Structure 1
């Protein structure tokens, strides 16, 4: 059962998928409608899942499920992944490219290849207070409080330690 994202419980489990390019307004509309329809019928072992999904910053697809009502199964989680695997090629978008880190540069989403992060820190292109998207958050509450956070509060902190060593 689909519900609006703002209504899903704070404890809801979230998965964040990142597009490898900005989505157009039309693509966001198409993806939103596709996601709503898929979530409306999302089930685990024949039980409806209370779920939501929303696209943020024309880049990030966030899917949330309220586990307090029905737990998603491995098969249902796989199904949610397949939705994006199916629509990605139609939109010419890769939602599964984990080789990029996402930064918020004054409201503009920028990407840096993970392989180039160390040099970006050394060249001060990424600083400890640079806002980054931490797509490893697990709940809506975490998403709300630390999805956008300082680089030195994420897995990137090791690069700042190396820089001062």
Structure 2
């Protein structure tokens, strides 16, 4: 399951293409996912920076993560074009009554399902073996296509979380 998402990332984008990952507070229903796909496709088709089209990509991964990508080798993404992407995400929040900007809730892959956990409960989850050093963590702080492909889904022990908690190996 974890490797399949890479097949959806377009090959024609530079490795240093900018990436933004937005995590929903819940899994989207199929009808919502289809609506989001339309919104993303429409946004990317019309994404501009200072009047120049942005080579962009948008997709919903695992039914819960919206990924936007811009290949800045073609057109740089400035404040206004970034703001337009944030407006899209806020529109999605409002339409579907979800939170897309909560950075204190973490996502893990447990038994092939995305499971959410508040950061404040992480040590408890580790101490009680709900989360192990090898549990896959969604590192939504990735910033490039290369990082999305290689550092988005990582074991907890290889993530920034390892410095925040005590892991028993």
TM-score (norm 1): 0.91
Give the gaps of 5 or more residues in structure 2. Answer: 1-7
Give the gaps of 5 or more residues in structure 1. Answer: none
Following the alignment from structure 1 to structure 2, what is the Cα–Cα distance between the partners of residues 124 and 103? 13
TM-score (norm 2): 0.89
CA contact (8 A) 1:121 1:159 kept: no
CA contact (8 A) 2:133 2:167 kept: no
Task: State how 1:37-116 maps to structure 2 within 5 Å.
Answer: 37-116=42-121
Range with greater deviation from structure 2 (84-93 or 13-22): 84-93
The C-alpha deviation readout for 1:28-73, integer Å capped at 9, x for no partner, is: 1100111111111111111110000010000000000001111100
Following the alignment from structure 1 to structure 2, what is the Cα–Cα distance between the partners of residues 41 and 34? 11
Q: How many residues align?
A: 160
The C-alpha deviation readout for 1:6-26, integer Å capped at 9, x for no partner, is: 243332110000000000111
Which runs of structure 1 show a deviation greater than 3 angstroms over 4 or more consecutive aligned residues?
Answer: none
Following the alignment from structure 2 to structure 1, what is the Cα–Cα distance between the partners of residues 57 and 90? 18
The alignment status of 1:24 with 2:29, answered yes or no, reads yes
The alignment status of 1:9 with 2:14, answered yes or no, reads yes
Following the alignment from structure 1 to structure 2, what is the Cα–Cα distance between the partners of residues 78 and 115? 30
Following the alignment from structure 1 to structure 2, what is the Cα–Cα distance between the partners of residues 5 and 126? 28
Paired residue for 1:123, among 128, 140, 154?
128
Give the match for residue 5 of structure 2.
none
